[in-house]
Amino acid sequence: MEIKTLKHTFLLYGINLFIASLIVIIIAGLPFAISSIYSEVVSNSSDADKFILIESDRTDDFTHVEILSKELDPINQTINLKVFGYRNCDAKCDIKQLKLHISNFYYKDSNENRIPESFIINIPADGSEFEEDIILPINGVVYEYPYDRYSMLTAIALESIVKGVSTYAKTDDNRIRILLDEQTSRLQDTEHRIIPDLRKIMTEHPPVIAFASNYERPFYVKYIVTLLVILLIITTTATIFLSDFSKLITGSAGIIIGVWGTRSLLLGNLPPDVTLIDIVLTMIVIGTLICVAIKSALYARKHIKRD
């Protein structure tokens, strides 16, 4: 009797400790999640967070370029960029033709022999605005959602053509201004880093600037997904082991429906069976069915012995 009472006491202590830990995790993470949501709302409604790649202090004959990240596709490993801007001239622009080359790049020590192709954007000589949509590849693993990270290496070259002779702008030419901006919807926290030594990279054209961009999910997405999965596991465990057999069948059906409803809520339009969350949810369903089958067999065995 004393051993049984001791086990019961330890079980209660364990349950109380687990409940307290869960409450602490929820309360501790909630302020960061709210801050993450607020930061994303503010950044999506403001232009103050634009990242300046190159600043020009010239007032005559310089090119203004903005690159807007519109949509990151984790399945096809691409990112859609909108490139727009204009050529600014105080008086009439000269006769030179300007072309903007945007591409990925490789580091020369990466054992990559293929030179990435550039997207070419013609800059109007009359000072009118230009706008182009381009798609560049990214690197990342969607399987790790919501902790997936993606990276993009981008190089930009400015070509000037006069009487058939091409020259490429250098960083210190002060002839171009480049800004980066984001247009996200529950998408990514972004970090840009300028590559200081252009001699270490390999591109199709001599770049005026090169930079690396890293994308990851906002904290609140990680927090909500992780919390919901933990709560789903707790609910499933409680339903299986604490419910009477008469209520277990309907309870397990509710669990299975709830799992796929949770999947739709957490993963949105991501295809099935591509993330770690899919595997966890599938294991919950399989575990539920196995436990129901075992409890059904034990229930039938008990009634057969009674008869």
Cα dist from 126 to 56, 91, 121, 131, 247, whole Å: 20, 10, 15, 15, 76
pLDDT tier, 77 (very low <50, low <70, confident <90, very high otherwise)? confident
CB of 58 closer than 8 Å to CB of 175: yes
The model's pLDDT over 254-266, given as tens digits with 9 standing for 90+, comes to 888 888 787 777 7
The reply to whether 269 and 185 lie within a common domain is no
The reply to whether 171 and 37 lie within a common domain is no
In this prediction, residue 97 carries a pLDDT of 84
Three-class SS state of 186: coil
The reply to whether 199 and 245 lie within a common domain is no
Bigger pLDDT: 102 or 306?
102
In this prediction, residue 134 carries a pLDDT of 92
How far apart CA 56 and CA 63 sit, in angstroms, is: 9
- Residue 200 predicted with pLDDT over 60: yes
Rounded to 10°, the helix 219-242/2-44 angle is: 150
In this prediction, residue 84 carries a pLDDT of 93
**Contacts for 298 with CB less than 8 Å, ≥ 6 apart:** none
Q: 34-48, 68-82, 146-160, 245-259: which range is least confident on average?
A: 34-48
Q: 27-31, 102-106, 113-117: which range is least confident on average?
A: 113-117
CB of 154 closer than 8 Å to CB of 192: no
In this prediction, residue 187 carries a pLDDT of 54
CB of 178 closer than 8 Å to CB of 54: yes
**CA 89 and chain centroid, separation:** 39
Bigger pLDDT: 245 or 41?
245
In this prediction, residue 115 carries a pLDDT of 74
In this prediction, residue 132 carries a pLDDT of 93
In this prediction, residue 89 carries a pLDDT of 77
Q: What is the arithmetic mean of pLDDT over 278-292? A: 86
The reply to whether 110 and 251 lie within a common domain is no
How far apart CA 140 and CA 155 sit, in angstroms, is: 19
The reply to whether 77 and 197 lie within a common domain is yes
Domain endpoint, select from 159, 187, 217: 217
The reply to whether 171 and 204 lie within a common domain is yes
Range of the domain at 17: 1-48
In this prediction, residue 36 carries a pLDDT of 74
In this prediction, residue 131 carries a pLDDT of 93
CB of 218 closer than 8 Å to CB of 248: no
CB of 185 closer than 8 Å to CB of 97: no
In this prediction, residue 121 carries a pLDDT of 92
The model's pLDDT over 18-38, given as tens digits with 9 standing for 90+, comes to 777 778 877 877 787 777 777
In this prediction, residue 302 carries a pLDDT of 77
Q: What is the arithmetic mean of pLDDT over 146-175? A: 85
The reply to whether 125 and 268 lie within a common domain is no
The reply to whether 228 and 213 lie within a common domain is no
Bigger pLDDT: 307 or 202?
202
How far apart CA 213 and CA 182 sit, in angstroms, is: 11
The reply to whether 64 and 212 lie within a common domain is yes
Bigger pLDDT: 93 or 246?
246
Q: What is the arithmetic mean of pLDDT over 202-206? A: 86
The reply to whether 35 and 63 lie within a common domain is no
Domain endpoint, select from 171, 192, 217: 217
The reply to whether 207 and 74 lie within a common domain is yes
In this prediction, residue 231 carries a pLDDT of 85
**Contacts for 105 with CB less than 8 Å, ≥ 6 apart:** 116, 153, 154, 155, 201, 202, 203, 207, 210
Domain endpoint, select from 217, 249, 280: 217
Q: For the chain, what is the domain count? A: 3
The model's pLDDT over 165-195, given as tens digits with 9 standing for 90+, comes to 888 888 777 788 888 887 654 456 678 888 8
The reply to whether 95 and 171 lie within a common domain is yes
In this prediction, residue 42 carries a pLDDT of 64
Bigger pLDDT: 131 or 204?
131
In this prediction, residue 49 carries a pLDDT of 64
